[in-house]
Amino acid sequence: MSGTMSVMGPRSERRRRAVALVAIPLSAVAVASCSAITGKTESTVAPIPSLTFEVTTTTVPPTTIAIAPRATATTAPTTQPQIPTTVAVTTTTEPIALQELILTGDGLGSAQFGADPDQVVEYVSSILGASTADTGWVDPFTFAACEGTIARRVDWGVLSLLFTDLSPVANGRRHFIGYEYGRVGQIGDEPVGLHTPGGITLGSRVVDLMAEFPEAVVNPGEPQSEIPDNFYVSTVFYGLLTGTTQDDYITVLFGGYGCFE
């Protein structure tokens, strides 16, 4: 705001009077004396100027301060790797008999040649169930020409286990000596699918037999002796065939030391 302001007050009034006493000129005093003589009194007082001053008010426009908005931290989106919620579980449908009762030249699964007969029968029965036939301990010539003084044959379908008290494995005690798996003309009968470590089983072709056992020898049969075509891998692993071509197949597998008919 701008303009002229008159400042007066008690203190200013006293000052005015004091100034008036001091500022009166001597000529004025002389005039007053003369007036007193003539009987006229004329008092002339010089005017006292008012004490004034100008106050200039300058209005400063408000200052606008621009405040930048606070920066917001921006986090780049993190892409989490997708975790599969479905877990593929591979299961095998192969019966335990096929996993456990592997046919080798050393035995049948965990039953090794030379093992105790009762333990072997219990072991196989725990997998295949009760036996389908059992000769008990009899004279070796009761069912075949077996070595020793006593023999036994236990069947689970087309699988037969042989026991005697004499073989290249042991002498004078009863023990497991060999197995016969399959019957001529009965492929597909239980137990089905027992196989070697490489997968050879009843019905496998000669070409597949040679792939697992390159040392195998295929022999033509002797019709006059009623000996069928056969193959020989070793003295403890051999079998019978339908023929000697690569497409002929296995009908019987033998392991260990068998008896002769």
Tell whether the model's pLDDT for residue 48 goes beyond 50.
Answer: no
Q: Quick one: average pLDDT of 227-246? A: 96
Q: What is the pLDDT of residue 80?
A: 58
Do residues 13 and 50 touch, judged by C-beta distance below 8 A?
A: no
Q: Quick one: average pLDDT of 191-204? A: 97
pLDDT band at 1 (very low <50, low <70, confident <90, very high): very low
pTM score, two decimals?
Answer: 0.65
Q: What is the pLDDT of residue 57?
A: 47
Q: How many residues does the chain have?
A: 261
Helices (H), the chain: 10-23, 26-38, 96-100, 117-128, 206-212
pLDDT band at 165 (very low <50, low <70, confident <90, very high): very high
Tell whether the model's pLDDT for residue 74 goes beyond 70.
Answer: no
Task: Locate the domains of the chain by residue range.
Answer: 2-56, 96-256
Q: Quick one: average pLDDT of 249-261? A: 91
DSSP, collapsed to helix, strand or coil, labels residue 139 as: coil
Please provide residue 164's backbone torsions phi and psi, each rounded to the nearest 5 degrees: -145, -175
Please provide residue 234's backbone torsions phi and psi, each rounded to the nearest 5 degrees: -160, 180
Identity of the residue numbered 62: P
pLDDT band at 46 (very low <50, low <70, confident <90, very high): very low
pLDDT band at 60 (very low <50, low <70, confident <90, very high): very low
Q: What is the pLDDT of residue 261?
A: 65
Q: Identify the sign of the CA torsion 235, 236, 239, 244.
A: negative
Per the model's pLDDT, the better-predicted residue between 31 and 196 turns out to be 196
Tell whether the model's pLDDT for residue 3 goes beyond 70.
Answer: no
Per the model's pLDDT, the better-predicted residue between 225 and 231 turns out to be 231
Q: What is the pLDDT of residue 93?
A: 77
- Lowest mean pLDDT: which of 52-61, 132-141, 142-151, 169-178? 52-61
Q: What is the pLDDT of residue 94?
A: 80
**Was domain 96-256 assigned CATH 2.60.460?**
yes
Cis peptide before 62 (omega within 30 of 0): no
Q: What is the pLDDT of residue 90?
A: 54
Do residues 242 and 254 touch, judged by C-beta distance below 8 A?
A: no
Radius of gyration of the chain (CA): 66
What residues contact 220, with CB distance under 8 A and at least 6 apart? 229, 244
* Residue owning tokens 């997968």: 199
